Structures are given as C-alpha cells and as structure tokens.
Amino acid sequence: MQQHTEKENVILFPKWKDVLEEESVQALKDKRYEEALSKLDKLLSYHIRSHEIIIGKLICLMELDRHTEAQEICEELLTEKDEHYYHYVHIYLTILFQTNQYELLMEQVDYEFEMGDVPSPLEEQFQQLYTMSSKMKADLTVETSSSQLNGLVQAAEEEDHQEQWRIVESLRQMSALPTKTIPPMLANEKVHPVVKTVIMQWLAESDYNQEVSIHKFGRERIVTPSELEKLDDIAILHQARSLLEETEQKNPTLFDMLEKLLFRFLYVHYPILPPSEEVFQLAEAIKHVGQEYLGIHMEEESPQSEKMQQFSEEVMLCDSLYLSIIEE
C-alpha cells in the first residue's frame, strides 16, 4: 500500500477552511499580500486548490514582485489546459509584459492565435499586448544598440578585440540595423580581422546594399555586402574540402583538424579569399600544418614552394587569430 505523509492524511475541518479563505480574501482586499499569501499557501498545503485560491496566490506574488515564481506557476498551469486556461494565459502574458519579456509574450500570443480558440473578449486584449510588446521591443533594441554602438567605437579606439567581438555579435543577434559608423570599421587597422568578418556578415544580413572597403592583411577589396556569398557557400571552401577528404577514412582525427584549419583560415580572411586556382596549394598547406600540429611524422617531401610556405604561415596565423577571439 502506498504510504502517505502525515500532512496528506490530515484533513482541514470545513470551518477552518472557510475561515482561512475569508481571511485570505480580506487580506487581499486590504493589500496585505504577505499575510494573504501565507493563508493561501496554508490552504494549498491541504490540497485545497480552487481556481480562486490559485488566482489569489498569483496576484500576491505579482504584487510582491515575485514574478519568477508567478511565471513558473503559470507555465505549469498552462500545461493542464483546464477550463480556466485562457484566464491563466492572460495573467501569464501580463507577467511577461511587466518583466520586459516581449519576445516570449509575442511568441505565446502567436501560438494562441494559431490554435484559433481564443475567446472573443480576450482577442483584442491579446492583440493590444502583442502590439505594445512589439513597440517596446523595438524601442529597447534601439536604446540598447545605441549604447552598444558607442561602446564599439570606444573598443575600436582602445583595440579591445574581445569587447569588439562581444558588442558586434550582440548587435547582430538582436538584428539591430548598422549605422553609418559601422562600414568605416572594415578599413580600421585597430579592428580585429575576425571582428571585421562578423561586421561583414551583419551588414549582409541587414541587406546593406552600398559598396564598402575592407582591409585585411595589407589587402583591400571593395564589396557590396548584400551581394556577397555566405561563407558556407563559397566555392573555395568546398573545393578545398574535397581535396582534404582523402584523409577522412585514413585518419578521422587529422581530417577533423584539417576541416577546422580550413574554416578558420577562410573565416579570418573573408571576404578577401584566394582565387580558385590556388586551392590545391592551400589544401596542401593545410595538410602540412595539420600534420605538424598533431605531431604526425611526415615522409621526406620536396621543399614547399614559396606560395605553399606563405599559405602555411597564414593558416597558422589565422588559426591563432580565430581562437584568440572565438572559444571552441
């Protein structure tokens, strides 16, 4: 037989139940939320779990700024999908709005409208919350991005490469629109080449359709970000990878290293990349560096050509530059 705790076996007399309910309601009316919450929790501890008691507890938690607890209770209630579901959804959305969780609120409203069962009286309220959240989210993005853009200018001036990366990646993730201060950073020698790659990706994702000048490793290229191929789609990546695939069966560990070296080399250089006719020399240089890194004995080879030696040095440099910014 299943054992029960002492608390579970204790029954609250109807008289005391009524007293606790009345006292909790009065405490709520008088805005004595701590007291009301204590009495409601007492009722819940005896498994007296009416809709009114749950709503009362949620109100107390929200008034006491204990929004995280209220949110967790709501999320649990939403999984039950009982007859009070949309009342709980409304409270849940209110909590999300009060705690600036605009994205989550909008996702929940989208879900409810997609299900198509929102009661008519609530449709307008849900839509209003969605509209306000969309505006607040946009305002918050503008405010945050403005502050971060100022920080980026300072990080560039101070050559704080980690901070450059953190800010640009943050702006990119929040889909902030690049301002006129961003493109000149591509030619700024104080900006890390890895950061320039992220800036270029950010401009491309923002459909930036004006020409920009990018400087890396003493080379310059004029490009239109919106017209650039994505890094994963560039021909030389796939051409070089196909030349390295012969090692995959023989030595999977080496192949994994070669893939990383190739990607890091191209990532750091992007979008100023070697021409396709140099792909063989690049692949051979990557093999050479990969074997060296893993301490693999290499048979006597003919001396590297000047181009291969240059590629080998660049592969090692790019590996170091990439890992100095991006942790793996």
Residue 297 burial (CB count, 10 A) = 5
For residue 121, whether the previous peptide bond is cis, meaning omega lies within 30 degrees of 0, is no
**Per-residue model confidence (pLDDT) at position 1:** 34
CB atoms within 10 A of CB 45: 12
Quick one: pLDDT at residue 231?
93
- pLDDT at site 302: 59
Rounded to a whole number of angstroms, the distance between the first and last alpha carbons of the chain is: 53
Q: Is the dihedral of CA 82, 86, 87, 90 positive or negative?
A: positive
- Cα 61 to chain center, whole Å? 29
Helix pair angle (161-173, 120-157), 10° resolution:
160
- According to CATH, the topology of domain 232-325 is Cyclin A; domain 1 (1.10.472)
User: What class, spelled out in words, does domain 6-138 have in CATH?
Assistant: mainly alpha
How many whole angstroms separate alpha carbon 328 and alpha carbon 316?
16
Percent helix, strand, coil in the chain (nearest 5)? 70, 5, 25
CA angle 183, 187, 192 (to 5 degrees): 100
Tell me how far apart the alpha carbons of residues 73 and 71 are, in angstroms, rounded to a whole number.
5
Distances (CA, A) of 163 to 35, 151, 186, 198, 327: 48, 8, 16, 13, 14
Angstrom distance (rounded) from CA 272 to CA 266: 9
Instruction: Report the SS3 class of residue 221.
Output: strand
Return the pLDDT at 2: 41
Longest dimension (CA), the chain: 97
**In the 8-state DSSP scheme, what is residue 219?**
E
Q: Which helix (H) or strand (E) holds 203?
A: helix 193-205
User: Are the beta carbons of 105 and 130 closer than 8 angstroms?
Assistant: yes
- Distance, CA of 197 to CA of 216 (rounded, Å): 10
pLDDT for the residue 94: 96
Instruction: Determine the pLDDT at residue 295.
Output: 87
Residue 192 confidence (pLDDT): 97
- How many other C-beta atoms are found inside a 10 Å radius of the C-beta of residue 61? 22
Cβ atoms within 10 Å, residue 48: 14
Is 95:62 a contact under the CB 8 Å cutoff?
yes
Give me 291's structure tokens. 């074997």
pLDDT confidence of residue 317? 97
Per-residue pLDDT of the chain (328 residues; tens, 9 = 90+): 344 444 444 565 667 778 888 898 899 999 999 999 999 998 888 888 889 999 999 999 999 999 999 999 999 999 999 999 999 999 999 999 999 999 999 999 999 999 988 999 899 999 999 999 999 988 887 777 888 888 999 999 999 999 999 999 998 988 888 989 999 999 999 999 999 999 999 999 999 999 999 999 999 999 999 999 999 999 999 999 999 999 988 899 999 999 999 999 999 999 999 999 999 999 999 999 999 999 887 665 556 788 889 999 999 999 999 999 998 6
Which positions ≥6 away from 121 have C-beta within 8 Å?
none
Every domain of the chain and the residues it spans: 6-138, 160-228, 232-325
Nearest to 180, CA basis, from 221, 140, 151, 212: 212
Structure tokens at 45: 């501890």
Count CA within 13 A, CB hemisphere, residue 78: 16
- Residue 157 tokens read as 């001036």
